[in-house]
């Protein structure tokens, strides 16, 4: 996404706006790399909060988790949720190159919300604008392209409901 469009989205104007956002982006990028290599789980969570990800209490963030680098503040994670290693959670989609495909797939920016008590297993991808309901489970390797109802187990590419967990919980 071109910097000018990000600046416009957030309302930064002029040279000082560019400078302010530039420092913010570089700082968040640096923190992303620190979190990536951090071996202490509580520190990883704190570092991602500093990056702008909205993270509740008691949240576990696994190793090598990637959050959207531009719109980190559009990601919300509820209390007591576990995010498995190498998971990707995004809040925007954009084709950065100049191609006719941009007309078919225009830029989208959307809030991504993960509920309370959710278990996201390793290697899950969650696309922008998804809401994952409270106490849902997302199986390893799933690609979440639709909202996940509370207390359900989803799996697959794309993820589909496999099991209703209401009776067991």
| pLDDT tens per residue across span 34-63 | 999 999 999 999 999 999 999 999 999 999
What pLDDT does residue 1 have? Answer: 62
**What residue ranges do the domains of the chain occupy?**
3-164
Q: What is the pTM of this model?
A: 0.92
Instruction: Say how far apart CA 42 and CA 47 lie, in whole Å.
Output: 9
Quote the mean pLDDT of the chain.
94
Q: Cα–Cα distance between 76 and 54 in angstroms, integer?
A: 5
**Tell me, what's the pLDDT at 169?**
79
125-126: strand order across its sheet: 66-67, 88-89, 125-126, 143-144
Task: Dig out the tokens for 125 from the structure.
Answer: 């991808």
List pLDDT tens digits, range 103-132. 898 889 999 999 999 999 999 999 999 999
- Which top CATH class is 3-164? mainly beta
Active site residues: 92
DSSP 8-state class, residue 128: T
């Amino acid at each position: 996404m071109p910097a000018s469009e990000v600046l416009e989205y957030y309302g930064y104007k002029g040279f000082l706006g560019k400078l302010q956002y530039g420092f913010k982006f570089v700082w968040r990028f640096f923190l992303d790399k620190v979190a990536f290599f951090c071996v202490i789980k509580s520190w990883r969570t704190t570092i991602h909060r500093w990056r702008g990800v909205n993270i509740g209490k008691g949240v576990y963030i696994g190793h090598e988790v990637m959050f959207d680098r531009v719109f980190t503040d559009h990601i919300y994670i509820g209390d007591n949720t576990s995010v498995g290693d190498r998971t990707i959670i995004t809040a925007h989609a954009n084709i950065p190159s100049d191609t006719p495909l941009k007309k078919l797939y225009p830029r989208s920016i959307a809030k991504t919300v993960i509920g309370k008590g959710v278990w996201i297993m390793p290697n899950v991808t969650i696309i922008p604008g998804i809401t994952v309901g409270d106490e849902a489970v997302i199986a390893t390797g799933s690609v979440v392209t639709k909202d996940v109802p509370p207390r359900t187990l989803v799996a697959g590419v794309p993820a589909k409901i496999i099991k209703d967990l209401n009776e067991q919980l």
